[in-house]
Amino acid sequence: MAKLPNPIRYRIERKLLSIYLRWYGMVAAHGVERMKLDLSATSWGRVIAVTLIGTAFFIAVAFFVDSFNFLYLSPEALWRAQMTDLFLPLLLGGSFLFVLMWKIRQLAIAQRDLSVIAATDSLTAVLNRGAFSMLVEAYLEHTSKEEHTRSGALLIIDADHFKSINDRLGHESGDQALRLIAQAIKGQLRGVDLVGRIGGEEFGVFMPGVDPSHSWLVAESIRRRIREMDFSPGGRPCPLSVSIGGTSFSGPTTYEEIFSAADRRLYTAKANGRDQVSFDPAGVSPVPSPSVGTVH
């Protein structure tokens, strides 16, 4: 994949990482309390806070400027001056700040939504290839700077004999199959896991903080769930299956390294007959799950 200029790439990675932290709930995983007042650009908290603080500042300035004349005013004139200094900034300044911050909030929401749309595959509603790889790279870079590097795993999931589905049943049926596969994958993952469409019929799954045995169980649950799905376009049964290559890590690494390792395992799964999971390290003990339920 072509590399973007460093400043642009950095801004994109930071933006996508912030979306990931907010979208998938990783804020809680980093020890930030959810009950704190939300002062983000898309929140009403910032609109209210800036409106109140700004209005109080306007009122304080009005009283400060007029205070030099207060000693020379009669009690009635003093009362009128004080009411003017209170309500004029309150009505004019408060209204102006509220409308201004409301418009800024709308722009921030629109920018956030556009960023999410730009990072999403329109067919399957999962991350697209660029967003997926950038988020994984940003996560690995972020955790490499921590004292205790997190573990994790990467899966590459490839639909078996997908070309024949398009050839026999048409591209519309192929699109439907991809949507079903993406839905099945998401159904077996946690909220903090990433899933993206990284090729025509290939999906990537990144699971932070999991060990190899758990990763294998997740991969196997995905494979079995897809195998047992009912896919009958036009009333013609068409069993779906996937081959999955996976790798785990427990120290500093890069996206290129874990992707290459998982890709090699995917080729192994394909060469061994498809519809199976091949995982690295090879010492992982396959422990069949008694059911196809979601693995957390």
| Catalytic residue set | 201
CB 165 within 8 Å of CB 172: no
The structure tokens 């009635």 sit at: 76
Residue 254 in 3-state DSSP?
A: coil
User: For the sheet containing 242-249, what is the strand order?
Assistant: 194-197, 202-208, 152-159, 242-249, 277-280
SS (H, E, C) 28-79: HHCCCCCCCCCCCCCCHHHHHHHHHHHHHHHHHHHHHHHHHHHCCCCHHHHH
Q: Which conformational region is residue 100 in: left (phi greater than 0), alpha (psi within -120 to 50 degrees), or beta?
A: alpha
Find all residues with CB under 8 Å of 69, minimum gap 6, and list them.
Answer: 81
Which stretches of 188-254 are DSSP H helices?
212-227
Give the contacts of 145 (CB within 8 A, at least 6 positions apart).
none
